[in-house]
Every structure is written in C-alpha cells, then in structure tokens.
Structure 1
Amino acid sequence: MELQKVESFIRSAFNNQEGFIPLHEPRFLGNEKRYLMETIDTTFVSSTGPFVNKFEEIMAAFTGARYAVAIVNGTAALHLALVLAGVEHGDEVITQPLTFVATANAITHAGGKPVFVDVDRDTMGMSPIALQNFLDANAEIRGDGHSYNKTTGKRIAACLPMHTFGFPLRINEIADICTKYNIPLVEDAAESLGSTVDGRHTGTIGLLGTFSFNGNKTVTCGGGGAIVTNDEVLGKKAKHISTTAKVPHAWEYMHDFVGYNYRMPNLNAALAVAQLEQLPSFLENKRQLAAMYSSFFRDSDILFVDEPSNSVANFWLNTLILPNANAKNEFLRHMNEKGIMCRPIWQLMNRLPMYAQCQTGDLTNAAWLEERVVNIPSSVRV
C-alpha cells in the first residue's frame, strides 16, 4: 500500500488535522477542572481524600473486581502485586519478552528474576503453548507444593503475562496452566482498561491484576495505577501496605509491616474520577476509529490487528503488522517525517543489557513481531 495513501487516510480520520498528530494524547472533556479545584479548595491534595476512595469504588464496579486499590503509578502497582503474590528475593517470575520495560523492572524491584517465554502472533501476549512447553521441560513441583525451575533450582513464584496494547491474551488457558503448576498468576493489565475475555474484565482472572493511568493511557490522571483482586485478604493487605502499613490510630505512629508509600494522591484521583466518568464514551469513540482503520487496511499488504475471538479489546493503541522489517522502518520514517507520530513495538526484554542473561524459551513469535509491528495514532477523536 502506498504510504501517501496511509498518511492521507490518517489525517482524514482525525478531521484532516494539519500539523503534528500525536500517537495518543489525553482528552479532558468532563469534570477534570472542577474536581481538581475541589481538591485545592479543600486542601486534600495528598493520599487522604474522598476522590481516592471514589476512584477505587468506580474501578471495582467497572472491572467487576471485589477490591480495587489506588496506587501512585502502574509500575508500583505491579511491584506491590508481585510482593502480595509472594515473590521474594531470588525467586523467578515467568513473563513475556514483548512488553514495556516496566513489566520486567517490577519483577526486579520485587527481588525476582524474569524468565521469558514466547507470545502468540495474533494477541501479542503470552502464549499458553509456549508457557506449557517451558514448564513441561523445566518445572517440577516439590514437597512444599511450589514449582521449581530444574535448570536453575529457583522457585517459580509467579507468572506475569501482559495484555499488549489492550488486546486480551489467552488468559483463561494461562490461568489453567498456572493452577496445574501451583504458580500464582498476576495480570499486567496496564494497557487494557475496558478489555474483556468471555465477559470478564482483564486483570480479574488472575490472583491480582494491575492497571496504569499514565498520560498516554485511555484514561489518565497524569500518573496513577491500580491493583484489583477478588481475594479479601490480599485486597485489604494491598491497601494497608501501600499506605506505609500504618495501624489506624488517632495520633500514634505504629507500623506492622515493611510498607510502601504507594497510595495515589487525591489530586491525581480527582482527575482519574473525571476521566473514568467518560470511559464508556472514550471506548466507543476508539472502537469507531479502529473500525475505520480495519476497513481501510483490509485486502492490503498491511495487517490491522483486530480483537481476538471471545474478547473485547479497548483498542488503546491501534496496531499494524508490516510485511517485513524494511517495510516497517520505511513506514515509520515516512509517517514521522510527515508529522504523524507512529512507533515500533518495544525491543525484546532479553535484548536489553540488564536482562540479557535471563533464561528464555523459544522466542520465534516475539522476534517476528518485533520486526514488523507499529502503532498508529489512536487518540479519542474530537
């Protein structure tokens, strides 16, 4: 397909906008300013304030989770979720190499070491077949009931798949495998707010799930995150240790756990609540844009990534698969030179210097996608 035609179509999709078209910019179309001023007027701008609680109520209701805990950002949410799942220093966590670096970093923050298994080409998320093959070859359940890596001798403390660009992966199959091997499942749902699998929201299938509200997400509060879970003990513990594990008292300082100062400030929560009020309309707007892209790229040599079967995607970042690496690079060069922001998928985590020594399975699909995938402008259109 001629790149000039793609360029013209993207501009037409955004009302023939001239000049720079960003990849994904936030939209503040509701009560954002009013709620922010309320936090300033009441002086409740830190982690104590009504909007933090309101944010948690909305997140729990929207995702269907029993508990939602407001966290300062998505990486901190991942770190804390892994701690809650039982990851300790020296443990291993199985994850995917095709992900944003925060996924692997959070494992390291929790004291663990990533192990990388392949993804599926259609979902770009962890492959159940790759996970099963890796565990069949490397894992054994010992007398304490935990799975251990026969190659390294380390405990496999968690499995951490990521729903790439908001496209749900085969999470039910992953969950079944994790149950078989008694490995806690933590979902990195940072990018998938509004995405479901068989009617269940991403992040709620595993033991714990996490979300991000960074400036480039479907809804944003500048920086922010959330942990969701249906486990009562973990839900209450998440809230407790994210607020420095302080035991409630009118004036005394008593802490009963090594806690974290990870609670989302009321200032950010005010922005998040206003954004969440608009989430249904944002999702519908983005679905309409995805349908336009899908129709445009149909029958071309560029594949538009659509939502997997039995799933609803939020189409956070619309995604293309180019024929090869040269075509990808030419696409990126042309679009960015013309002021249309497009980005490649991330470099594989096992290629980064700090993770180059991590154990991997066969990563054929991840490498194939790394050579071909680009994201195109995906903002809510106004």
Structure 2
Amino acid sequence: MSDQLIRFIRDYYATNEFIPLHAPVFPGREKEYVADTIESTVVSSVGKYVDRFEHNMAAYTGSQRAVATVNGTTALHISLKLAGVERGDLVITQPLTFVATCNAIAYCNAEPVFVDVDRNTLGLSATALETWLEENASLDADGVCRTRADNKVIRACVPMHTFGHPADLDGLGAVANRWNIALVEDAAESLGSLYKGRHTGTFGALGTLSFNGNKIMTTGGGGMILASEELAARAKHLTTTAKKPHDFEYIHDEVGYNYRMPNLNAALGCAQLEQLEAFIDKKRALAAAYEEYLSGTALEFIKEPENCRSNYWLNAVICEDKADRDELLETTNKQGVMTRPIWALMNHLSMYKNCRKGELSYAEFLEERVVNLPSSVLPK
C-alpha cells in the first residue's frame, strides 16, 4: 500500500523530487508588498500593513476586531490572560494537540487538564468535557466553577481545531456556558474553516490564529487574536508593552508584552490573504483526490465533520494499528515523500505528565494510528 500511495502522491504533484509535508507558495503580490515595506523603512512593529492585515483578517473571519501578534503562541497566551486565567487556575484542553496549546496555559502559571477528543473531529469532545466536569467540579455560591477535591478554579477550556477540522463548537459552547467557564479557541490550524457557515475562532470569548511558515497562509511567523472590540483593545495594549499613547513620553501602566507583529511580516500576510480562498480550493481538491484514492483501502481518510467546511490544512489517515503506521512513515520518508505522525499526547510529555486528566481512549487510539500526508498547495 505504501508504494502505491507514494506513486499517487508523486503523480499528483508531478515530481520525482523530494515532496515536503506542507510548503508555502508565493504566487501573488508578496514581493511587491514586502519590497514596498523595505523601501519605506517602516519594517518593525508599526506600519500600514499591520493595520491593513488586522482590518482584512477581521473582515474575512467576521470577527469584530483582530490583533496581530508575533506568533500563534503569543496570541493564545494573551487570549488566556484576557479570559481571566490566573496563577493556579485550571484550563481544560485536549491532549491531542501541538505543544504550544499547553505552553500558553503554562505561561499563565495555570495547569492544563486533559479530556478526550471526538474521533470524527480530532478535537475536544463536548461529551468528555461534560463528563469530567460532572465527576470533578461544581459551581460555588458565586457561580465560579471549582474542583470539589481541592477548590481549584476551572477558568477556561481550549479546543483546538485539529488539522483544520472544526471541533464540536455547539456542544462545547453549551457545556462552557453551563459551567461558567470561558471558551478560548485555538484556531491556529483552521484559518478558512467554517462551522455551520461561521468562521472558527469566532465562537468563544476569544480565538487565535497562526501564520507560521507551514500554515495554509504564512507571514513567516505570526499570529492573530480574534475578539470583541473591548477585548481586542485590551489585547492591543498588552501586546504593545502596555504603553500609553503619548507624543514622546514612555509611560507603561502595567506589565505588558512585546508581542507585536512587524510590518514586514504583515505585508507578506496581506498578499497571502488575497489568495486564501484559492489556496483552500486547491487544498480541498487535493483532499477529495486523497479520499477517492484511499476509498476501500486499509487507510481511513479523515474527512471534514458534517455541516463544516475544513481548510484541510493537513490531510491525514488512520492506519489499522501502530505497526502499519510505523511502516507507512518509514517507507514514505525513505523514498522522499514526507509524512509525519500526529503529536505525542501532551500528558505523555515530561512537563505535563502529572497534570489532571480524564479517560483518553480516543486520543490514545489516534496517537498510535494517525499519519499526515503531503498537503502543500500546488504552485500552479
């Protein structure tokens, strides 16, 4: 099966050269906008392209406002702070995620709690979330969600839209509302993905995006906070070293963060965003080709959830078992076709191994079986 899949991928990309997992493409006005920024000498953390990128991203996603940051992790860090996460709080998330999700929680001196994912979305399970809360938490007299065992505040939950597939946002939102915890979406991988016609990252109190070099569109490095006008204003202040406006004085009114996106990166982002829908069309065509080719084989192609539009950032398959997964990874990579396993579960990493967790059967099943296939946008 591996050799036939390699031939299919090589035929699709029309090359016998090395095929990366996900490479950026720059077919639009990227050079023009970046050159304009260099010529202006305004290349750092302020400039017309930062403003334009934020405005255009808010319009694209339907968010009230968007705030650009230096990367997706910083966007999530600030979003958690704005959601009220404090030292010693608990934040519920999924173990099947990239490590940045948990690192942002740790930056707040809070502790992640791991509950299971849904098999069909690979994202945080509303059922597992509800089950863990019912077994471990209650609302106090002030309506604050706390653990019954040690009275810890459960401040937020963070679903991650894995590989661009939207999580169960209706279910997660309902559970979060019942338990009075903030929903903060890690939409780093799901730019352009829609849940029932609405963009991911706009359902919770805040949402975050990433524009790393391997994402569906890139600014080289960069992130974005999606929020209401009020929370976005606070985000802009905190990410700009909490500096108060003044013609010449340096006045900072709280501990702030130098998390601003440079104008140079934003220029690249403006050009990439102009082509995002074309990128999504090509990626969905690739996903359809994979799905058709893999139909009836031992590899289960992971499809977008019902009533959703996935950007299919990374195409993925579920192997029959870990041995088959390992064989596929070894054979493809030896032959110059890059594939990758899904991440190790966060509760298997040394720094998070002692965190609280629920029953994680689906996450453990997927950890041993999921493989990502080449997913780059065709350059032509």
Aligned to 2:342: 345
After TM superposition, the runs of 4+ consecutive aligned structure 1 residues lying more than 4 A away are none
Distance in structure 2 (CA, Å) of the matches to 1:368 and 1:80: 32
RMSD: 0.7
Q: Does 1:144 align with 2:150?
A: no
Q: Which of 296, 305, 308 in structure 2 is aligned with 1:308?
A: 305
Instruction: Report the Cα distance in structure 2 between the residues aligned to 1:78 and 1:185, rounded to whole angstroms.
Output: 12
Give the letter aligned to residue 215 of structure 2: K
1:180 maps to 178
Which residue is equivalent to 1:22? 20
Where does residue 41 of structure 1 map in the other structure? 39
1:19 deviates by: 1.9
CA distance in 2, matches of 1:105, 1:257: 23
Q: Distance in 2 between matches of 1:371 and 1:299?
A: 21
Residues 1:297 and 2:294 aligned together: yes
**Which structure 2 residues correspond to residues 217-366 of structure 1 after superposition, within 5 A?**
217-229=215-227, 231-366=228-363
Distance (Å, rounded) in 1 between the aligned partners of 2:17 and 2:38: 35
TM-score normalised according to structure 2 size: 0.99
Counterpart CA distance in 2 for 1:106 and 1:268 is 22
1:10 corresponding residue in structure 2: 9
Determine the C-alpha separation between the residues in 2 that align with 1:257 and 1:196.
37
Q: Look up the equivalent residue of 2:115 and give its one-letter code.
A: V
In 1: Cα distance, 2:213 partner to 2:31 partner: 16
User: SS of 1:185's equivalent?
Assistant: strand
**Distance across 1 between alignment mates of 2:126 and 2:182:** 15
- Looking at structure 1, the residues matched to 269 and 164 of structure 2 have their Cα atoms a distance apart, in angstroms, of 19
Instruction: Specify the alignment match of 2:204 in structure 1.
Output: 206
For 2:337 and 2:199, locate their aligned partners in 1 and report how far apart those are by CA, in whole Å: 32
Q: Which runs of 5+ in 2 are unaligned?
A: none
Q: 5+ unaligned residues in a row in structure 1: which ranges?
A: none
User: 1:253 Cα shift?
Assistant: 1.3
Equivalence map 1:186-197=2 (5 Å): 186-197=184-195
Provide the rounded CA distance (Å) in 2 between the counterparts of 1:18 and 1:299: 26
Percent identical among aligned pairs is: 54
Using the TM superposition, name which of 141-150 and 321-330 deviates more: 141-150
Distance (Å, rounded) in 2 between the aligned partners of 1:226 and 1:365: 30
In 1, the alpha carbon distance for the partners of 2:197 and 2:55 equals 20
CA-CA distance at 1:146 after TM superposition: 1.2
Match of 2:71 in 1: 73
Measure how far apart 1:151 and its partner are.
2.5
Aligned length: 379
SS of aligned partner of 1:12:
helix
The alignment partner of 1:214 has SS state of coil
CA distance in 2, matches of 1:236, 1:255: 15
Looking at structure 2, the residues matched to 234 and 58 of structure 1 have their Cα atoms a distance apart, in angstroms, of 18
C-alpha distance in structure 2 between counterparts of 1:66 and 1:189, whole Å: 16
Listed one character per residue, the Cα deviations across residues 118-149 of structure 1 (whole Å, up to 9, x for unaligned) are: 00111000011100100011111112321011
For 1:354 and 1:144, locate their aligned partners in 2 and report how far apart those are by CA, in whole Å. Answer: 33
* 1:371 paired to 2:365: no
Deviations 1:294-314 (A, max 9, x none): 100011111001100011000
Q: How far 1:64 sits from its partner (Å)?
A: 0.3
